Amino acid sequence: MQKIPLMLAKAGMTIARDVFRGDSPIGIPICGKGTLLTDSLIARFDNMDVQSIYVEGHPVWEEGERSFDDILHELDGRFIKTLQEPLNAMLYDIYKSYLIKSMGGDSDRQAE
């Protein structure tokens, strides 16, 4: 499952969580999970101010297909100047576990 900006939603993706109006994230969903996205559905979400949706799998990748190793490598690069400082090292560890957790997202494809 992946949370994606509505602008990157495409017909053919499958909704993985109920969708709510953008201005009232509680209440009655406007579309249930499991629905296959169509262009008209995306346009409808847009009209209702929906900013982001959850879709099944991990269909959207930034700047092409980056492997998990690439992503970790970039994280290392960003911290290269400040990793020796305790507070920055703490933030680095938090981000690393966050990335591991979010990239493990592929497993919930089987779960659903």
Binding site for another protein (CB under 8 A): 3-8, 23, 49, 51-52, 74-75, 77-82, 85, 87-88, 90-92, 94-95, 97-98, 102
* Residue listed under structure tokens 């960003």: 78
DSSP-assigned letter for residue 108: H
Which CB sits closer to another protein, 3 or 109? 3
Report the distance separating Cα 8 and Cα 21, nearest Å: 18
Dump strand ranges (E) for the chain.
2-5, 52-55
The minimum distance between CB 82 and another protein, in angstroms, equals 5
If the CB atoms of residues 63 and 107 are measured against another protein, the closer one turns out to be 63
> In this complex, which beta carbon is closest to another protein, that of residue 35 or of residue 52?
52
Q: In the bound complex, what is the minimum distance in angstroms from residue 32's beta carbon to another protein?
A: 21
Rounded Cα distance, 18 and 40, in Å: 17
